[in-house]
């Protein structure tokens, strides 16, 4: 019986140790968005402050992401608009300093393609979202192991009470996330 328990402890320990931890390389990563303006054009922007990490099996297999985005870091290259987007009727950055994503599931699709589902929380409102994308690759560099990921989804801003209904701003917001992650050294 002791041998069985010891074997189980060893297997569990090996399983935990087999997980790899990855952290975002912010200088090579971006969280971008686009929303319709007056039905004739798009306004684009980004969130420049974020903390993203992943835990995966060996070689970035089946990653599980943890995401926190600094709401006040919104950047549309228009200071007046950015200030308005940080205000109560949009992101209310003072009350809700971060946007959170908690991953629930990972599906490997054909080739490098994948689908990640989880809960997105904006302004204290949590909704399920599905992000589709691909793992661009995993490479060894002189700086260590790196993984590249691109994810996309579309959300409805009014589901999260971001801005009012109607008006000159589109309902749907396209999100494009490009990540380069560094494997943490043991």
pLDDT digits (tens, 9 = 90+) for 132-169: 999 999 999 998 899 999 999 999 999 999 997 777 88
Share of the chain above pLDDT 90, in %: 76
Tokens linked to 96: 């809700």
The whole model's pTM is what? 0.85
Q: Give yes or no for a contact between 131 and 154, defined as CB atoms under 8 angstroms apart.
A: no
Give the distance from CA 139 to its chain's centroid. 21
Q: What DSSP state is assigned to residue 49? A: -
Query: Average pLDDT for residues 53-75, to the nearest whole number?
Result: 93
* 156 Cβ contact partners less than 8 Å away, ≥ 6 residues apart: 171, 172, 173
Query: Average pLDDT for residues 30-58, to the nearest whole number?
Result: 94
Instruction: Of 25-39, 93-107, 155-169, give the lowest mean pLDDT range.
Output: 155-169
Q: 2 or 79: which carries more pLDDT confidence?
A: 79
Domain 21-183 part of CATH 2.40.128.110: yes
**CA distances in angstroms from 121 to 26, 32, 83, 174, listed in the order given:** 21, 17, 21, 16
Measured distance CA(20)–CA(186) in Å, rounded: 9
* 68 Cβ contact partners less than 8 Å away, ≥ 6 residues apart: 50, 51, 52, 98, 99, 100
pLDDT at residue 14, as a whole number: 46
Residue 27 pLDDT > 70, yes or no?
A: yes
Count of Cβ atoms closer than 10 Å to residue 70 Cβ: 15
Residue 34 pLDDT > 70, yes or no?
A: yes
pLDDT at residue 60, as a whole number: 87
Strands 50-57 and 144-156: unpaired
Query: Average pLDDT for residues 20-24, to the nearest whole number?
Result: 94
Rg of the chain over all Cα atoms, to the nearest angstrom = 19
pLDDT at residue 66, as a whole number: 93
26 conformational bin, left if phi > 0, alpha if psi -120 to 50, beta if neither: alpha
Query: Average pLDDT for residues 30-42, to the nearest whole number?
Result: 92
Measured distance CA(101)–CA(62) in Å, rounded: 17
Residue 46 pLDDT > 60, yes or no?
A: yes
Query: Average pLDDT for residues 93-107, to the nearest whole number?
Result: 97
Q: 2 or 168: which carries more pLDDT confidence?
A: 168
CB-count exposure of residue 27 (10 Å: 0-12, 13-18, 19+): exposed
pLDDT at residue 11, as a whole number: 46
Measured distance CA(137)–CA(156) in Å, rounded: 30
* 167 Cβ contact partners less than 8 Å away, ≥ 6 residues apart: none
């Amino acid at each position: 019986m002791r041998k069985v328990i010891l074997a189980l402890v060893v297997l569990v320990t090996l399983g935990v140790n087999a997980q790899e931890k990855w952290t975002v390389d912010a200088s090579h990563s971006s969280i971008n968005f686009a929303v319709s303006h007056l039905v004739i054009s798009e306004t684009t922007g980004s969130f420049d402050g974020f903390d993203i990490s992943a835990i995966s099996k060996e070689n970035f297999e089946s990653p599980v992401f943890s995401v926190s985005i600094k709401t006040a870091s919104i950047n549309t290259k228009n200071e007046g608009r950015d200030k308005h987007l940080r205000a109560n009727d949009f992101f209310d950055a003072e009350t809700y300093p971060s946007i959170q994503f908690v991953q629930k599931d990972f599906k490997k699709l054909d080739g490098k393609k994948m689908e990640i589902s989880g809960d997105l929380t904006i302004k204290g409102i949590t909704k399920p979202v599905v992000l589709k994308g691909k793992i661009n690759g995993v490479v060894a560099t002189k700086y260590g192991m790196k993984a590249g990921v691109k994810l996309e989804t579309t959300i409805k801003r009014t589901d999260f009470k971001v801005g009012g209904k109607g008006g000159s701003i589109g309902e749907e917001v396209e999100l494009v996330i490009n990540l380069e992650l560094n494997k943490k050294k043991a």
